[in-house]
Amino acid sequence: MQYRLLGRSGLAVSELCLGTMTFGNTTSEEESIEMINRFMEQGGNFLDTADVYVSGRSEEIVGKAIKDRRSEIVLATKVRMTTADHPNGAGISRKHIMDGLDASLKRLQTDYIDLYQVHVWDHATPIEETLRTLDDLVTSGKVRYIGCSNFFAWQLMKSLGCSDMNRYVRFISIQPQYSLVSREMDREMMSLCAEENVGIIPWAPLGGGFLTGRYTREEPTEGRLTAKAGESSWALRSTERNFAILDAVTAVSKRLDKSPAQVALRWLLQRQGITSPIFGARTLEQFEDNMGAVGWTMPQEAWDELDEASALPSEYPNRFIAKFARPY
């Protein structure tokens, strides 16, 4: 396992991050704790959860698993979604953030969060209020670093500008959906993060399981992609373009004697700007397969093949800039 600095910070995180959204739901507590232990044994130190995962149960299991090895772990969680049935039970107001943090700390059995992330932008709350609150939490020692998730590029840039203008702490990372079948972030977010040195920790790096090779063009009767709504629903994943990408992944995996999941994760690990993809696993078997993405290098021609198969269509202004703008 290799380690990378997260954004504009000195925080070293493992090249893979273990996501815990299934912990306490489709993954039992026993298997969840075993997964964390195996992850740490293989050099992993980066765990991601959220206050709304399985109604807080994920945080409870993570806290139980790491309480005796807390200093070894870079622990990330999130705030923003609805956690209580009252007017201030959601959002990124000062009240909800502080209430949410205290609740997360209790469930996680710790007195600090390494990376506290805003789960989604909140149009009801001025970003100045949110960032001032997060700055106070860093000053207090309850939070070490801050990040965001699911932002537009303008929202991230507005946040960074606000932090710089007011001398608040900056977001050091963003957690977007990003994979071979979800490359919308290439339009603006990737270049912004490179310019501002913001770490990228993608969620759904396997397209919700689509890139594991488990699914064919026939509609599935079991598995995550049977969902009727959401980013990993069959309606969104089962396009001819996505199946062409999956065909390319499968072809490369056969040539390299790797699983499709390992190839899809390895493509991300070797993509410039990506810090640490967040992979989830329902079973220990899936966990071990995903961990096989580290410790080897994909040949450049294979990486290029996947990059070309999954690239977004040529669009303005990138198309215009590539043709007419000088590279300085």
The CA–CA distances, whole Å, from 154 to 159, 253, 303 equal 8, 37, 30
91 Ramachandran zone, left/alpha/beta (phi>0; psi -120 to 50): left
The pLDDT, as a whole number, for residue 270 is: 98
- Token pair in block for residue 205: 């790096």
- Decide if pLDDT at 223 tops 80: no
Q: Residue 294: CB partners within 8 Å, gap ≥ 6? A: 1, 2, 15, 16, 269
Among this protein's residues, is 145 annotated catalytic?
no
Cα torsion angle, 11, 14, 20, 21, sign = positive
The pLDDT, as a whole number, for residue 235 is: 86
Q: Choose the catalytic residue: 3, 53, 116, 328.
A: 53
Q: Are 54 and 25 in contact (CB under 8 A)?
A: yes
The CA–CA distances, whole Å, from 309 to 21, 83, 140, 168, 290 equal 29, 40, 47, 41, 22
Q: What is the pTM of this model?
A: 0.95
- Decide if pLDDT at 328 tops 70: no
Q: For residue 179, what pLDDT band results from cuts at 50, 70 and 90?
A: very high
Domain boundaries, the chain: 3-210+271-296
Domain 3-210+271-296 in CATH 3.20.20.100 = yes
* SS3 at position 148: strand
